[in-house]
């Protein structure tokens, strides 16, 4: 039985393909689908469809696209490119206030205006507004936090005027002003439970005295972040504060009073430098570490939470302290250190490494285990080329200021070595050469 399929030329006009509305045939005829047309026969159009004219296009064929006329230009707008719409700043983050100043890089790192949609700023107290305290305060203020400082009375007026900080790259063209939201001079006067976090930016020797007990009484449930490098500092603080409130931090940046001897800057202040790939490290309960890490990141200071920070800090100090102590005995010169004290330096490092491994029950990092006279000599040649300032002068200025801390570290190494029956001759000899600070 014939199905009655229609040839293509019998479909409804105006359709490019097969149509579901074909014209019905005048009479049913046997289907010739698939049979070749007879030779000499011409295909005939459908009887109900008019023959196309010679110049007309075939029905169903693609027609050339009509060319669109360009829109009429308003007579009030000059010809040319349409001006771009000004890009607006996001509404959920406060814009950084800009002020004119030296090199166009001056801006006041005051507490930013935080929108109502954001969380309330953290109330942070920094104990000690030296170079390290100013650096952390600056970046916390950039994040919009409320930053207070606790300083000695003779430094209070300078803190109220604000601190000038330079980020060291290769010059002193850019600087920032950090003005604390509050200046305190006595731990007894601190309001109880007012602060969310307290940062100890002081040397390990500063933990002595009755002020720590006074601070603990006003602390409440706040987080205490200690940046002190001593191995037993957390245990000392835990005598006054619950250990779950303590967060250990490690300073990985370099800051110093500017200018150093031989430098020049527009006005005295504090210079700082972030070595590459060295974020600030913190360790403690996650609910206490995360807020301070996020705040520093918002203030453009690289930070992260890690594990095993006590071991990292201890072995790092064990590597740095003998270098600093031996440099002090040779007048803070690396060339004399290589020529006169290289073998004694390696022996001191080896004894300190053994003492720390026995005390902590952990192996020293691989770089410390590979220290030999050759590697130490290479290290002393490479290190001065990395920072954008005079490395020897910086070590002299900074570690002369904290010389009591260096001597305290050496005494502690000797005491721990004797407790574990380990050799301490090289450390004791170095400590004797240093004398008192």
Instruction: Spell out where 49-153 has E strands.
Output: 107-108, 123-127, 146-150
Give the pLDDT band of residue 116 (cuts 50, 70, 90).
very low
Q: What is the pLDDT of residues 238-273, one digit of tens each?
A: 999 999 999 999 999 999 999 999 999 999 999 999
Is residue 114's pLDDT more than 50? no
Range in 47-51, 83-87, 108-112, 261-265 with the lowest mean pLDDT: 108-112
Whether the predicted pLDDT of 323 surpasses 90: yes
Rounded Cα gap, residues 52 and 18, in angstroms: 19
In this model, does residue 343 exceed pLDDT 60?
A: yes
- What whole-number distance in Å separates Cα of residue 373 and Cα of residue 266? 42
| 172 pLDDT higher than 80 | yes
Tokens coding 335: 């060339």
Give the fold, CATH level 3, of 95-306: Rossmann fold (3.40.50)
Helix (H) or strand (E) holding 158, with range, is: helix 156-161
The model's pTM is 0.73
CA pair distance 287, 283, nearest whole angstrom: 11
Question: In angstroms, rounded to a whole number, what is the distance separating the alpha carbons of residues 228 and 204?
Answer: 5
Q: For 132-147, write each residue's pLDDT tens digit.
A: 999 999 999 999 999 9
111: confidence class by pLDDT, cuts 50, 70, 90: very low
Distances (CA, A) of 6 to 41, 52, 137: 18, 19, 86
Distance from C-alpha of 139 to C-alpha of 93, rounded to nearest angstrom: 16
pLDDT tens per residue across span 177-215: 999 999 999 999 999 999 999 999 999 999 988 999 999
- Judged against a pLDDT cut of 50, whether residue 372 lies above it is answered with yes
- With b meaning 16 or more CB within 10 Å and e meaning fewer, what string describes 186-217? ebeebeeeebbbbbbbbbbbbbeeeebebbbe
pLDDT at 51: 52
Which residue, 161, 147, 142, is CA-closest to 97?
142
Tokens of 333: 């010169």
Overall average pLDDT of the 336-345 stretch: 94
Mean per-residue pLDDT, 23-52: 50
Residue 12 has pLDDT above 80, yes or no: no
Residue 70 binned pLDDT confidence (cut-offs 50, 70, 90): low
pLDDT tens by residue, 359-369: 999 999 998 88
307-to-33, 136, 228, 310 alpha-carbon distances in Å: 82, 21, 17, 8
The average confidence (pLDDT) of the chain is 82
Interatomic CA distance for residues 253 and 135, integer angstroms: 9
More confident residue, 118 or 258: 258
**Residue 328's pLDDT is what?**
96
User: How many C-beta neighbours within 10 Å does residue 72 have?
Assistant: 6
Tell me the pLDDT band of 94, cut-offs 50, 70 and 90: very low
Regarding predicted confidence, which is higher, 204 or 117? 204
Q: Is-cis flag, bond preceding 259, omega within 30?
A: yes
Range of 1-5, 24-28, 151-155 with top mean pLDDT: 151-155
What is the model's pLDDT at position 169?
79
Q: What is the pLDDT of residue 154?
A: 95
- Candidates 422, 407, 415, 411; CA nearest to 353 is 422
Which of helix, strand or coil describes residue 21? Answer: coil
Residue 293's pLDDT band (boundaries 50, 70, 90)?
very high
Return d(Cα 132, Cα 267) in angstroms, integer. 19
> Which helix (DSSP H) or strand (DSSP E) does residue 248 occupy?
strand 246-250
pLDDT at 209: 85
Q: What is the reported pLDDT for 81?
A: 55
Residue with the two structure tokens 């201890």: 314
pLDDT at 88: 54
Query: What is the spatial distance between Cα 433 and Cα 20, in angstroms, rounded to a whole number?
Result: 106
Which is nearest to 295 in space by CA: 246, 256, 249?
249
Name the residue ranges covered by the structural domains of the chain: 95-306, 308-437
Sheet of strand 175-178: strand arrangement: 107-108, 175-178, 163-167, 269-273, 254-258
What is the pLDDT, as a whole number, of residue 436?
86
Report whether pLDDT(404) > 90.
yes
Return the higher-pLDDT residue of 304 and 50.
Answer: 304
Task: Tell me how long the chain is.
Answer: 437
Neighbours of 351 (CB within 10 A): 23
* Cα 271 to Cα 141: distance, rounded to the nearest angstrom: 17
**To the nearest whole percent, how much of the chain has pLDDT over 70?**
72
Beta strands in 101-178 (DSSP E): 107-108, 123-127, 146-150, 163-167, 175-178
**Do the beta carbons of residue 190 and residue 165 sit within 8 Å?**
no
Q: Could you tell me which residues come within 8 angstroms of residue 229 by beta carbon, excluding any fewer than 6 positions away?
A: 204, 250, 251, 313, 316, 317, 405
pLDDT at residue 71, as a whole number: 59
């Amino acid at each position: 039985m014939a199905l009655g399929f229609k040839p293509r030329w019998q479909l409804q006009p105006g359709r490019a393909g097969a149509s579901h509305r074909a014209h019905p045939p005048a009479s049913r005829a046997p289907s010739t689908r698939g049979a070749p047309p007879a030779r000499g026969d011409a295909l005939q159009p459908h009887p109900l469809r008019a023959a196309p004219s010679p110049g007309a296009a075939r029905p169903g064929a693609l027609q050339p696209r009509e060319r669109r006329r360009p829109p009429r230009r308003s007579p009030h707008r000059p010809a040319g490119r349409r001006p771009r719409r000004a890009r607006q700043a996001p509404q959920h983050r406060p814009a950084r206030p800009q002020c004119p100043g030296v090199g166009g890089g001056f801006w006041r790192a005051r507490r930013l205006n935080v929108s109502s949609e954001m969380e309330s700023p953290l109330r942070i107290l920094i104990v000690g507004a030296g170079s390290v305290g100013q650096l952390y305060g600056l970046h916390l203020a950039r994040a919009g936090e409320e930053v207070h400082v606790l300083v000695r009375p003779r430094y209070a007026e300078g803190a109220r005027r604000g601190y000038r900080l330079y980020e060291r790259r290769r010059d002193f063209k850019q600087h920032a002003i950090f003005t604390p939201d509050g200046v305190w001079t006595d731990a007894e006067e601190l309001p109880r439970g007012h602060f969310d976090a307290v940062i100890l930016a002081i040397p390990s020797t500063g933990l002595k005295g009755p002020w720590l007990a006074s601070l603990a009484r006003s602390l409440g449930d706040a987080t205490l972040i200690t940046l002190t490098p001593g191995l037993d500092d957390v245990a000392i603080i835990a005598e006054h504060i619950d250990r779950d409130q303590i967060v250990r931090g490690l300073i990985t940046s370099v800051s110093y009073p500017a200018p150093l001897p031989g430098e020049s800057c527009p006005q005295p202040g504090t210079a700082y430098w972030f070595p590459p790939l060295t974020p600030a490290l913190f360790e403690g309960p996650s609910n206490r570490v995360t807020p301070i890490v996020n705040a520093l990141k918002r203030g453009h200071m690289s930070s992260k939470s890690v594990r095993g920070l006590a071991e990292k800090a201890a072995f790092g100090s064990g590597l740095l302290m003998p270098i600093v102590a031996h440099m002090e005995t040779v007048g803070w010169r690396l060339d004399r250190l290589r020529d006169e004290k290289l073998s004694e330096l390696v022996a001191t490092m080896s004894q300190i490494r053994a003492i720390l491994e026995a005390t902590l029950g952990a192996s020293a990092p691989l770089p410390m285990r590979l220290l030999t006279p050759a590697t130490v000599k290479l290290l002393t040649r490479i290190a001065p080329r990395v920072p954008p300032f005079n490395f020897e002068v910086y070590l002299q200025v900074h570690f002369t200021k904290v010389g009591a801390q260096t001597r305290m570290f050496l005494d502690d190494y000797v005491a721990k070595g004797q407790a574990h029956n380990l050799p301490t001759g090289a450390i004791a000899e170095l400590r004797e050469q240093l004398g008192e600070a």
